Amino acid sequence: MIACTRDCYDTCIFDLNYKPLNIFPVNGFTCSRGITDLKRNKMNRIDSAYIEGKQVAIEEAIKYVVKKLKEYKKEEILHVDYDGNQGLLTWYYPARFWNAIGSASTDYSICSAEGHEAIKLHYGTSFGALPEEFEKYNAVVFWGSEAVFSFIHGWRILSKKYKITIDVRVSETAKRSEKFYIINPSSDAFLAIGIIKVLLYEGLYEESLLDDLDSLRQYVNQYDFSLIEDVTGLSEDQIEELAELYYYYKPLTIIGFALGRTFQGGYAISLISLIPALLGLKRGFYYSNSQGWGIDFSYLRGFHISKPSRIVGMAEVGKEVEKGNVKFLFTWNSNPIHSLPGSDKIKEAVEEGRLFLVSHDPFWNETTKLANVVIPAPTFLEKYDVVYGYWHDYLVFNEPISPSHGITEVELNKMLAKEYGISSHPLIEEDEWTAINIAIKGTGISLKELKEKKVVKINRKIEIEKVKVKPLPNLSLPPKGKYLVFSSHPNYTNSQFKEVYPQLPIAYTKDVEGIGYIENSNGKVKVIFKKDESIPDNVVFMYKSSLIDLNGKPINSLIGSEKGKYSGTPLLNGTIVKITLLK
């Protein structure tokens, strides 16, 4: 079997002919990327190792990387890895070499970390509804989620329900919903307070699971409806209607990752998560179930023996590179030049010789094209791995169906360790399969069983009886202005698939058409503007897969190093910009 390892809610499972399995919730269908995977696997591949653009043997590249590594202090060496491939052997285990040498690590905050912490404050876990539980609801609220594109199997189940969407523009999900509410960007915490106020005032909460309604009442009383109306852009009547729909339908709330990247996004998610509990729904939300399976990701990364010498927030990598605090950057499973905030600073530092960049990736991308050293990696179709999802509860034993290109992350880890002279370090000595067997113990599944059956249900149930009201956040007013806002495109997963579906940097606004600039105090980028009536005045909208401007400059030049309060997630959807058309 093979599970698609891309960063995606759905984690489709395929047979060895790459046909999607006809089991719930995969249900025999996949996306526009899934159907082109076999073709794409032969396109745009890195076919060899490279040093400064010159083709070399992989062994030579590794020797050179280790020689360079030894020139820097461990705090100046940073590894940047994220979810290009969610396999336990591809993403997690390879952090061991870096932890063994005590280099710096990121805080893994770029995507969903803020919301995990926000929900855990109240529920003690971020584990929400399972696919089977999606089926039981009559209605759903998509809150900051473009599920029609980003979560196609979830959407297939939920599209049959009564649907309510809360967004800052008329998204595709909004268009296909029975009701939608368009609010001002980054005002979600205030809307959640408005809904809670109505439910409490009107007594619409017979079976609340919250432990301290008095504190909640006092808290929401601090916020007048006139303020909530002003901040959210909705009228009191609209908020009342939304609250009554919540009470009447008792919907499942899909809390989108996009929210965690807004101004006060963690606060918003924390308050939103209280609504289903107030209505008596146990785990009446879905955010990401990844931290609920009992997989010990820290063990895989080796934190039980060696920790990073320092943590650099993903919001701050650009800034730290600019300051000269990071001089060596090793990346795998991630395309930082495309996707990190302030990535223009990383690009400049490499071009000016202030940063040594190494990338291990299967495909040529914005980072590999710039890197001093490139090492080819096999794709998930070319190696063994163990894969979990962040929605469904299957664990999958991935088997290769194509000949391997390059060197796996595990092999590279071992070769780096050998060259560095630390092969006998306990993190390196422990065989990767032994590490996996230990790390998945909490799922109740052994590696032996998984290897035999290939696809095994984790069957984890987390019961919630009471939900804690406190801590409640102290809110500030979101800044006014035009917000640059991003979302998922159906044909790409983040920066991937441009070899199949080429694209241009297009920014959608209500009324501007032509070529021009988006700018703020952090930078200026050149894009194509297109008019789109679904975008309000205070939003400039872009897909998060076209983050390189017409001059090759990262759009993320515009994103500063501000970060969320709970987990340091960058404010990717919280940036204020100005637009000008080229004369």
Contact 282, 133 (CB under 8 A): no
Window 464 to 493, contacts with ligand SF4 (CB under 6 A): 493
**From ligand SF4, Mo ion, ligand MGD, none, which one binds at residue 359 (CB under 5 to 8 Å depending on kind)?**
none
The interface region with Mo ion, picked from 12-20, 109-117, 226-234, 426-434 by CB under 5 A, is 109-117
Which of ligand MGD, ligand SF4, Mo ion, none does residue 30 bind (CB under 5 to 8 Å by kind)? ligand SF4
Q: Which tokens is 243 given?
A: 């609250």
Other beta carbons within 10 Å of 501: 16
Of 2, 6, 232, 336, the one binding ligand SF4 (CB under 6 A) is 6
- From residue 444 to residue 483, the character string flagging contacts with Mo ion as x (rule: CB under 5 A) and all else as - is ----------------------------------------
Q: Residue 153, CB half-sphere, CA atoms under 13 Å: how many? A: 26
Name which of 304 and 531 has its Cβ closer to ligand MGD: 531
Q: What is the distance between the alpha carbons of residues 134 and 179, in angstroms, rounded to a whole number?
A: 19
Smallest separation, CB 463 to ligand MGD (Å): 26
Binding residue (CB under 5 A) for Mo ion from 65, 111, 271, 535: 111
Which amino acid is residue 405, in one-letter code?
H
Q: Is 535 helix (H, G, I), strand (E, B) or coil?
A: coil
In the chain, what's the furthest Cα-to-Cα distance?
71
222, 189 contact by CB (below 8 A): no
State the binding string over 408-447 for ligand MGD (x if CB under 6 A, else -): -x--------------------------------------
The residue number whose beta carbon is nearest to Mo ion equals 111
* E strands, 413-463, in order: 455-457
How far apart (Å, rounded) are the C-alpha atoms in residues 356 and 321? 10
> Do 552 and 541 meet the contact criterion of CB atoms below 8 Å apart?
no
- Single out the segment in contact with ligand SF4 by CB under 6 A; choices: 1-9, 56-64, 214-222, 291-299: 1-9
Amino acid at 256: G
- Check binding of 41 to ligand SF4 (CB under 6 A): no
Beta carbon nearer to ligand MGD, 209 or 274: 274
In the range 363-392, which residues lie near ligand MGD by CB under 6 A? 363, 365, 377, 379-380
- Evaluate the CA torsion angle 148, 151, 153, 159 in order and state its sign: negative
What whole-number distance in Å separates Cα of residue 385 and Cα of residue 297?
A: 14
Q: Choose between 371 and 572: whose C-beta lies nearer to ligand MGD.
A: 572
Which of 405, 242, 254, 413 shows the shortest CA–CA distance to 330? 413
Nearer to ligand SF4, 154 or 313 (CB): 154
For residue 63, CA distances in Å to 351, 373, 449, 474 come to: 22, 11, 39, 52
Stretch near ligand MGD under the rule CB under 6 A, chosen from 320-328, 436-444, 480-488, 519-527: 480-488
Instruction: Tell me: does residue 234 bind Mo ion (CB under 5 A).
Output: no
Site for ligand SF4 in 144-163 (CB under 6 A): 152
Q: Which of 553, 545, 557, 508 is nearest to 530 (CA)?
A: 508
144 is in the binding site of which of Mo ion, ligand SF4, ligand MGD, none (Cβ under 5 to 8 A by kind)?
ligand MGD
Residues 5 to 34 in contact with ligand MGD, rule: CB under 6 A? 7-9
Q: Residues 389, 3: contact at Cβ < 8 Å? A: yes
* Per CB under 6 A, 338 contacts ligand MGD: yes
Alpha helices in 113-187 (DSSP H): 113-123, 131-134, 147-150, 152-158, 172-175
- Tell me the β-bridge partners of 55: 50
CB of 134 to ligand SF4, least distance (A): 16
Q: In the numeric block, which tokens belong to residue 99?
A: 């932890």
Annotate 207-228 with DSSP letters as a single string: T--BS-HHHHHHHHHTS-HHHH
Pick 111 or 200: Cβ nearer Mo ion: 111
Looking at residue 327, its amino acid is K
Indicate whether 273 belongs to the interface with ligand MGD (CB under 6 A). Answer: no
Residue with tokens 């664990």: 395
3-state helix, strand, coil in the chain (%, to 5): 35, 20, 45
**Number of residues near ligand SF4 (by CB under 6 A):** 12
Give the phi and the psi of residue 266 in degrees, each rounded to 5.
-65, -40
82 touches ligand MGD by CB under 6 A? yes
Per the CB < 8 A criterion, the answer to whether 232 and 184 are in contact is yes
Q: Based on the shown chain and the rule CB under 6 A, indicate whether residue 487 belongs to the binding site for ligand MGD.
A: yes
Stretches 25-33, 233-241, 357-365, 553-561: which one binds ligand SF4 (CB under 6 A)?
A: 25-33
> For ligand SF4, which residue of 2, 10, 149, 158 counts as binding (CB under 6 A)?
10
The nearest distance, CB 145 to ligand MGD, in angstroms, is: 4
Locate the DSSP E strands across 382-537.
385-387, 394-398, 455-457, 482-487, 506-509, 514-520, 523-531
The residues in 491-520 that bind ligand SF4, with binding defined as CB under 6 A, are: 493
Question: Of these, 144, 154, 233, 292, which contacts ligand MGD (CB under 6 A)?
Answer: 144
Half-sphere exposure (Cβ direction) of 328: Cα atoms closer than 13 Å: 18
Minimum CB separation of residue 111 from ligand SF4 in Å reads: 15
CB of 444 to ligand SF4, least distance (A): 24
Q: Which stretch binds ligand SF4 (CB under 6 A): 7-15, 431-439, 441-449, 520-528?
A: 7-15
Q: Does 258 bind Mo ion (CB under 5 A)?
A: no
426: preceding bond cis by omega (within 30 degrees): no
- Residue with smaller CB distance to ligand SF4, 83 or 316: 83
Rule CB under 6 A: which residues touch ligand MGD?
7-9, 82-85, 90, 110-111, 143-147, 149-150, 166-169, 171, 183, 185-186, 188, 256-259, 262, 332-335, 338-339, 360-363, 365, 377, 379-380, 409, 485-490, 492-496, 544-545, 547, 555-556, 559, 572-573
Rule CB under 6 A: which residues touch ligand SF4?
4, 6, 8, 10-12, 30-31, 33-34, 152, 493
